[in-house]
Structure 1
C-alpha cells in the first residue's frame, strides 16, 4: 500500500475474493471463525492475551499441523482487536501461508509466552513463526513476509472488520464473544 492507502483495484479484488470464499458473510467473529474452520478443514483458536514485556506485533497467525491459532494483544482496544482478528482471518481468506523460519531454538521470554498463552513449545514456535518484523531479532530473519500478502490481508481484514462493526446490534462485547 502506498502512503495514500490501497488502490481501488486492490480493494475491489479483495472484496471480490472475500465474497467468493464466503458468499454469506458471518455476523460475528465466532461466525467468521467457524466459516473459516469449515473452509480450511481444521480448528481455529482465537487467543486474546498479554505479551508482557515482549515486543510482539498486536496480532499473529500461527499455523500448526492440525489447527490454526490467532493471537491478539489484549492491551489493544476492543475495536482494534476486531481489526487485528480481521487481518489474520484476511490471510486465510486470501490463501496465504505463514512463512517458515530456520530451525534454531529461540531463547529469552518468547518460549515461555508460547508455552503459557498458546500451548506451544519453543520448537513449535521456531518452526511456524516468521512473518512479523518485530520477531526478526528472535528469528534471525531480515524479511517480513510478502508486502503484497500483507497488503491483501490488511485490506481484506478491514473489509471483514467493517462488515462486523456494521453488524453491531448488541455491542462490541457481543461481537468479540463466543456464540
Structure 2
C-alpha cells in the first residue's frame, strides 16, 4: 500500500470538489447531491454497531447512507464523511442480491436496491484513501467552524 499516493489522491479529490466556504456536513451533503444529480439520504441504522459503522447503498432513485448510532456527533460526521468520500472518489459499487437487500430493508421492494459498496479489507487502498479524504473534509469543517466563531485560524494549535 502506497500511503503517499493515497494521501495525494485524497488531497486532489478534495481540491477538485471546489467546496464553498464555510464548509459543513450539510453544505458538503448538498454539494454532493448537486454533483451526483440525485438525493442522498442519511439514516441511523439499528443493528450491531460493533460490526458495521457505515454503508452506502445505491437505490434506483437515490443514494442511501446508513450509519451506526455514534457516541458523538463528531463520530457520526466522520462515518458519513467516509461514505461521502467513496462517492467523491467514485469507488464502484457492486450489484446487490435481493436477499441481501431484504436483510437491510425488510419494508422496501428489493428491486429498488441496486448496488452497494462492499468491503472485506479495511486496510485496502480504497478504504485508506476514503478515510484520508474524510479526515481532510472533517478538518475543513472544523476550520470553517472556528472562523465562524471568530477564532483565529491557528489559535487552537498555539494555545491548546
TM-score band, normalised by shorter chain:
0.7 to 0.9
- Check 1:152–1:161 CA distance in 2 against 1; reply closer, same or farther (3 A cut): same
Shift of 1:128: 2.5
Task: Report the TM-score when normalising by structure 2.
Answer: 0.74
Contact 1:19/1:25 (8 A) holds in 2: no
Deviates most, 82-91 or 155-164 = 155-164
In the other structure, the counterpart of 2:77 is 82
Pairs within 5 Å for 1:1-179:
7-24=3-20, 27-51=23-47, 53=48, 56-101=51-96, 103=97, 105-106=99-100, 111=102, 113-115=104-106, 120-125=108-113, 127-129=114-116, 131-133=118-120, 147-169=124-146
Structure 1 segments, 4+ long, off by >4 Å, are 53-56, 122-125
Shift of 1:69: 0.8
Shift of 1:85: 0.8
Give the CA RMSD over aligned residues.
Answer: 3.0
| In structure 1, distance between residues paired with 2:46 and 2:141 | 24
Higher alpha-carbon Rg:
2
More strand by share: 2
| In structure 2, distance between residues paired with 1:89 and 1:25 | 18
Shift of 1:164: 1.5
What 5-or-longer segments of structure 2 have no aligned partner?
A: 150-160
What 5-or-longer segments of structure 1 have no aligned partner?
A: 134-143, 172-179
Task: Report the TM-score when normalising by structure 1.
Answer: 0.67
How many residues align? The count is 148
| In structure 2, distance between residues paired with 1:91 and 1:25 | 22
